[in-house]
Amino acid sequence: MARVHPNHDDIVDHLAAILRLYGLDAEQDPELQGTPDRIARFWAERFSGVEQGSAPELRVLPTSGDQEDMIIIRGIPFSSTCAHHFTPFFGHADIAYIPGEHLVGVGTPARVLDHFARRPQIQERLGEQVATFITKAIDPRGVMVHLTARQLCMELGGFRSKGHVETTATRGWFSDQEWRAEFFGRLGREPRA
């Protein structure tokens, strides 16, 4: 069943009022009938990451503590909503960490990314939140989150330019250029300064 916000009815009424301000009547236009309700339900799902007390589930596993090899989860698809324009942005993430005393299950970085993407967001903050969450959860030697995304506000807005935005968040050992170079090398790319 689709997620419904506790203030669903009020949100629907306000969305219908906004449409009317644009000269669009969701009650009279057959294509718009039900649109405020659909938008409210869509946003309830897309913004579920802002719910108080919600946090992604972690599967934490112990290690021997002497591992210094990088673990990379590549090409994790994600989508979010631009906090400035409420348009989608989407792409993929490459998340790496160097364990300390703990590992996480291989699906955990994707769950963490999805959790923080489910809110009005900016790409730079998204990467930072994922890196910080993983760091606080397992205290690894290092974390690196590299996001590559299409920003529809950029493509459909004033500039109307296409392209991908890349952002990187680093913690611990990944602040060192040597570890960053290894990360990008394993992705088959040259590191950026």
Percent of the chain surpassing pLDDT 90: 77
pLDDT digit string, tens, across residues 118-170: 999 999 999 999 999 999 999 999 999 999 999 988 888 777 788 899 999 99
Task: Write down the pTM of the prediction.
Answer: 0.91
CA distances, 37 to each of 44, 70, 118, 126 (Å): 11, 46, 19, 28
pLDDT digit string, tens, across residues 44-62: 999 999 887 778 888 888 8
Diameter over CA atoms, the chain: 67
Domains and CATH numbers, the chain: 8-46 (no CATH), 60-186 (3.30.1130.10)
